[in-house]
Amino acid sequence: MNIEKIRSDFPILGRAVYGRPLVYLDNAATTQKPRVVVEGIAEEYYSVNANVHRGVHFLSQQATALHEAARERVRQFIGARSIAEVVFTRGTTESINLLAFCLGETILQEGDEVIVSVMEHHSNIVPWQLLATRKGIRLKVVPMNEAGELQLDAYEQLFGPRTKVVSLTHVSNVLGTVNPVKKLIDTAHTHGVPVILDAAQSIPHLSIDVGALDVDFLVFSAHKIYGPTGIGVLYGKESWLERLPPYQGGGEMIKHVSFEGTTFNELPFKFEAGTPDYIGTHGLAVALDYISALGLENIAAYEHQLLLYATERLTAIEGLRLYGEAADKSSVLSFLVDDIHPFDMGTLLDRLGIAVRTGHHCAYPLMQRLGIEGTVRASLTFYNTQAEIDALAEGIERVRRMF
Ligand code: PMP
């Protein structure tokens, strides 16, 4: 990993903030984009742009080819069996809403139960609560231990005859915990229950093979994996997607329409009503090419070193409490220092050019479990450096002295 070379691929990393070099440590919220992604998008607008799937003309066919090549690229990247299993959505949030709605129309009845965990992002809680209001389903919650690891015995005990869906995050956006998803999926399957994996925080850092995991659904957002905003993926096993009804109606998702009735398009188009974000899908494909060229194993190894270094530097700071100390952890560090409010810490670090996240991180129930209102979160990725972690540690010390 030639980090200097890699950093030069991301123009934004060269900019200054308040006259200081930007130290961007908010990668769990969104990642920066390499030049090839931005240029790939611009190039498509400049020379290919046309609506996809329905034009006989040259540009439309070229745009369609790029869009469908992107689907194939995603299929390879996650190890799906067929492009029929790769649905494009607006992102993780829309993918989970789609699943909550469609599973709510098929396999969930009043009194049925959906298992989530205490460390879910709101986007894997609220869609189920909306369904609970409409259909009378219930949520069951997997607890965690003090280190921030899910409690597997308690998980196993949540299953009962009314359990119909398990929906869990792969990696916690607050604690960095990497959940033992293969075990969690296998347990659910012994009870005959399908599993949805929220891969928003894992897809940029871990190599994922949906076939090896045998996961039923997997969802993620392109913007967290160096791709554009507004595009994401819903992977579903073909047998499941076949069973589910459409989510939205409109163009593209139909085979034939008359006022007497409509027949729906085949997979994956049944779930893709309206003009798709075909520019975004191409941008995502370029991003996947970019990180595949770096190598996910290399990325994971480098990020792990960064995590170890950052953990050592931060825990050496007096008064700093780290939240999330799982044995298997991704490069996320949530912390509080003395009784300094996270907003104050974040605002003062910002003045030093250091971008971190502060607050509840869209995980109120987890904050409640931890008995705090929020944390400061530094989330690292492969373009971050030890020097940036030093800057963070020195920044925290400086803020601490001010208080
Ligand atoms: N799940 C997790 C674990 C996340 O970290 C996020 C983004 N913070 C989401 C879901 C939601 O992703 P998006 O806003 O891109 O839909």
167 CB less than 6 Å from ligand 1? no
Write down the pTM of the prediction. Answer: 0.98
Predicted pLDDT at 6: 98
| Residue 216 pLDDT > 90 | yes
- Region 301-310: mean pLDDT is 98
- Cα distance between residue 99 and residue 95, in whole Å: 6
Stretch(es) of the chain classified as CATH 3.90.1150.10: 3-27+295-402
Q: Which pair of tokens denotes residue 311?
A: 């953990």
Query: For 239, which DSSP code?
Result: H
Cα(54)–Cα(302) distance, rounded to whole angstroms? 44
- Substitution candidate for ligand 1 out of 27, 31, 92 with most atoms within 8 A of CB: 92
pLDDT > 70 fraction of the chain, expressed in percent and rounded: 100
Q: What is the DSSP letter of 171?
A: B
pLDDT of 54 over the 90 cut: no
Distance 30 CA to ligand 1 centre (A): 9
Residue nearest to atom 6 of ligand 1 (CA): 200
Task: Give mean pLDDT, residues 168-173.
Answer: 98
pLDDT score of 55 more than 90: no
> What are the DSSP calls for 291-333, one per residue?
HHHH-HHHHHHHHHHHHHHHHHHHHTSTTEEEE---SSB-SEE
User: Is 275's pLDDT higher than 90?
Assistant: yes
Sign of the Cα torsion 356, 369, 173, 2 reads positive
CATH topology of domain 48-292: Aspartate Aminotransferase; domain 2 (3.40.640)
* CB neighbour burial string for 249-281, b if at least 16 within 10 angstroms, e if fewer: eeebbbeeeeeeeeebbebbbbbbbeebbbbbb
Looking at residue 266, what DSSP letter applies? Answer: P
Give me the CATH code for the 3-27+295-402 domain, please. Answer: 3.90.1150.10
Average pLDDT value over all residues in the chain: 97
Q: Report the residue among 123, 126, 198, 357 best suited for mutation to probe ligand 1: largest number of ligand atoms under 8 A from its CB.
A: 123
* Residue 344 pLDDT greater than 90, yes or no: yes
Can you say how many angstroms the Cα of residue 355 is from the centroid of all Cα atoms in its chain? 20
Chain segment 17-45, per-residue pLDDT in tens: 999 999 999 999 999 999 999 999 999 99
* 92 C-beta closer than 6 A to ligand 1: yes
Give 282's pLDDT tier (boundaries 50, 70, 90): very high
pLDDT at 83 over 90: yes
Residue 91 Cα: closest atom of ligand 1: 16
d(CA 211, CA 238): 12
CATH 3.40.640.10 in the chain is located at 48-292
Residue 342, pLDDT above cutoff 90: yes
Ligand 1, residue 95: give the atom nearest the CA: 16
* Pocket lining: 381 vs ligand 1, CB cutoff 6 Å: no
Does ligand 1 lie within 6 Å of residue 361's CB atom? no
